[in-house]
Amino acid sequence: MKDELRSVTRRDFLKCLAKLAPAAALASSGLKLGTIFASEEPGGSEGEGHWYGMGIDLERCIGCGRCSEACKEENDVPREPYFFRTWVERYVVTVDREVSVDSPNGGIDGFPPPDIEEQHILRSFYVPKLCNQCARPPCVQVCPVGATFETRDGVVLVDEKYCIGCRYCIQACPYGARYLDPQTRVADKCTFCYHRITRGLRPACVEVCPNSARIFGEIRNANTPLWRFVRTNELQVLKPHLRTEPKVYYNSLDSEVR
Amino acid sequence: MPSQVKRLILLFGIAAAALVLVRFLLVPDSFGRYGHYRADAVDEVAGMEIRYAGHLLCQECHDDVDAVKSGSMHEAVSCEACHGPGNEHAEDPFENRLSAPRGRRRCAYCHSYNPSRPTGFPQIEPDEHGGEEPCITCHNPHQPEPLVGIEDCEACHTEIAKTKSKSHHLSLHCTTCHATQERHPGAPREMRPDKPRTRSFCGQCHGEDASSPETIPRVDMATHGEDYLCWQCHYPHFPEGRR
């Protein structure tokens, strides 16, 4: 062993180091906190006012589904199990590396024990999902009438009176966060409870989360719980390769999560 | 200029004027104020009614409950997570009352065992824990610290304690029926605990004239089961079962 170590000369070692340096620089640049945050701010706000985001602490999510229930209560979302502004998914990875995902009624009625026997489960966890409030939202881009838009504080909303119900935005959303409301026949989605946050309240899902797994706050104000979450966690977003720049940030996100 | 060109220019002029007029009539005033959308829509969404009042508002009146809850394991659980949306209640507290979940179902949303939950989160197996008693019989939801040392006897009498925990008798401490001398744990065989010996002992709770809560089943002690002793038919640690 010792001989092997000695066989690496100083010249070889330095050469190797020179090759590694660019790779290391590339890797570290991707880990900077700033890079995960949406770079594009909506026009008009000029770095002032609000700029909202949400953190989801997967290590704290217990899959109780109270967020899904509160969301439906607060926003008059149809009770049928096809319409959700937020829902909880359960991931089960077996020892054979097979992944199954389920979300019975969005988690509102709780999760029954998984079908897979416990000794075959490698890991299992819950992932709450909602509209990612992208800074570069594909749904806004495809809307032919300007009925869905990003407000100046970074929330993507739907203009109920302007929407023609063409469903383009539903198709464009890579996160499946939109649905066509069966009563109004227009597209609908999570608004970060815009009517609550503009009155200084937290979104309903954040309010009722019993284990503080959801954190709401301002992205550029270092004085909110979201920033404490940011400072102490390695964060990821869903489907970063699509460059939608989501403003919903997850920690401990498993590579199996889509 | 040829007359047909003049007519064409006139036609184009009318079309352009019509376009401007139609745009003026159809496009709302606020469209385009901040971007390619109707700015008034933002206020319309923001003007929706709220249902969940938020825990800060609850605390203004229910500061006594808040004092109990703060520092407990349920400190971060907001009131409306269990009691439901409370804005209507806050507006008219006596007309719109909130309910409290008294069954076992709502607690189980968080505390029933599921391998997907994070390790270390307190979980129980609902079928094996606490019989069919509502959780609030033993646990105070505003201060749900785990119950420690409720059954000192359990250390040795595990089997009986386990059976009893599934029965309606779970909230009875062993010493309710067994008069036990203090020295019994140190000298179990010499200092034996006492057992009920008469039918009237069970009658203290189950007799028709007993002063126990009405939910407890009653029998006529004079005629029920003739001369047999109660435990010849009913097993006291699991009275639901039949011998």
In chain B, which ranges are E strands?
none
Of A160, A170, A132, A156, which Cα lies nearest the Cα of A258? A132
Beta-carbon separation of A63 and B114 below 8 A: yes
Long-range contacts of residues A99-108, Cβ cutoff 8 Å, at least 24 apart: A99/A256, A105/A68, A105/A81, A106/A65, A106/A68, A106/A81, A107/A63, A107/A64, A107/A65, A107/A67, A107/A68, A108/A65, A108/A68, A108/A69, A108/A72
pLDDT of residue B100: 92
* Statement: residue B147 has pLDDT above 80: no
Tell me, what CATH number does A224's domain have? Answer: 3.30.70.20
pLDDT of residue B162: 79
pLDDT of residue A29: 43
Q: Nearest C-alpha of chain B: how many angstroms from A113? A: 6
Residues B64 and B60: their CA atoms lie apart, in Å, by 10
Within a domain: A65 = yes
pLDDT of residue B183: 81
In a mutagenesis test of the B interface, which of A46, A131, A145, A159 is the best target, namely the one with the most B β-carbons within 10 Å? A159
pLDDT in tens, B113-144: 999 999 889 898 888 777 777 888 888 999 98
pLDDT of residue B19: 96
Residue percentage of chain A with pLDDT more than 70:
87
pLDDT average, residue stretch B91-108 = 93
Pairing of strands A52-57, A248-251: parallel
Tell me if the pTM is above 0.80: no
Within a domain: A209 = yes
Q: At B70, is the secondary structure helix, strand, or coil? A: coil
Q: How many domains does chain A have?
A: 1
Domain span at A133: 49-251
* Statement: residue B165 has pLDDT above 60: yes
Beta-carbon separation of A110 and B49 below 8 A: no
Q: Which segment of A27-31, A74-78, A232-236, B194-198 scores lowest on mean pLDDT?
A: A27-31
**Nearest-CB residue to B85 (from A61, A74, A148):** A74
Within a domain: A180 = yes
**Nearest-CB residue to A207 (from B78, B109, B112):** B78
Beta-carbon separation of A162 and B37 below 8 A: yes
* Statement: residue A42 has pLDDT above 70: no
Instruction: Label residue A83 exposed, middle or buried (CB < 10 Å: 0-12, 13-18, 19+).
Output: middle
pLDDT average, residue stretch A228-255 = 91
Which of 2-31 (A) contact B at CB < 8 A? none
Beta-carbon separation of A90 and B116 below 8 A: yes
In a mutagenesis test of the B interface, which of A64, A116, A125, A126 is the best target, namely the one with the most B β-carbons within 10 Å? A64
Residue of B nearest to A196 (CA): B50
Beta-carbon separation of B45 and A194 below 8 A: yes
Residue percentage of chain B with pLDDT more than 70:
97
- What are the distances in angstroms from CA B201 to CA B48, B156, B192, B198, B224? 62, 25, 19, 6, 14
In a mutagenesis test of the B interface, which of A90, A143, A151 is the best target, namely the one with the most B β-carbons within 10 Å? A151
Q: Nearest C-alpha of chain A: how many angstroms from B74? A: 8
Across all residues in chain A, what is the average pLDDT? 88
Whether residue A122 lies within 8 A of chain B, CB to CB, comes out as no
* Statement: residue A22 has pLDDT above 70: no
Between A and B, how many CB-CB pairs are < 8 A?
A: 127
Residue percentage of chain B with pLDDT more than 90:
49
Residues A130 and A228: their CA atoms lie apart, in Å, by 21
> For residue B207, what is the DSSP state?
B
Across all residues in chain B, what is the average pLDDT? 88
ipTM: 0.81
